[in-house]
Amino acid sequence: MVKQVKVSNFSEVRGIVSAATEFYNNEIGVHDIKGSIADAKSILGMMSLDYSHPVEIVCEDENVLDRVLKALRQ
């Protein structure tokens, strides 16, 4: 599953990382417009992405993806 979202601030990045770390058995990737990919569980990897455009969050489990997106909106 792939969902495109706009990340506006560091607090939202932190929310994605925090939610993703709860799902240690699932791989969750974040892709930016430049083609860079980061593990959603890695704060350093997430900090290296370009957030000037929406990013894509990718996960095979739709329920996990929905929970990560819900954390982003809080």
Could you read off the pLDDT of 8-57 as tens digits, one per residue?
999 999 999 999 999 989 999 999 999 999 999 999 999 999 999 999 99
Q: What is the pLDDT of residue 34?
A: 96
Total domains present in the chain: 1
Q: What is the pLDDT of residue 71?
A: 84
CATH number at residue 32: 3.30.1340.10
Q: What is the pLDDT of residue 62?
A: 93
User: Regarding beta strands 28-31 and 37-39, do their DSSP bridges make them parallel or antiparallel, or are they unpaired?
Assistant: antiparallel
Task: Fill in the DSSP letter of residue 42.
Answer: -
Task: Fill in the DSSP letter of residue 71.
Answer: H
3-class state of residue 66 by DSSP: helix
pTM to 2 decimals? 0.91
Q: Supply the range of the domain harboring residue 62.
A: 2-73
Band of the pLDDT at 72, cuts 50, 70, 90?
confident
Q: What is the pLDDT of residue 73?
A: 77
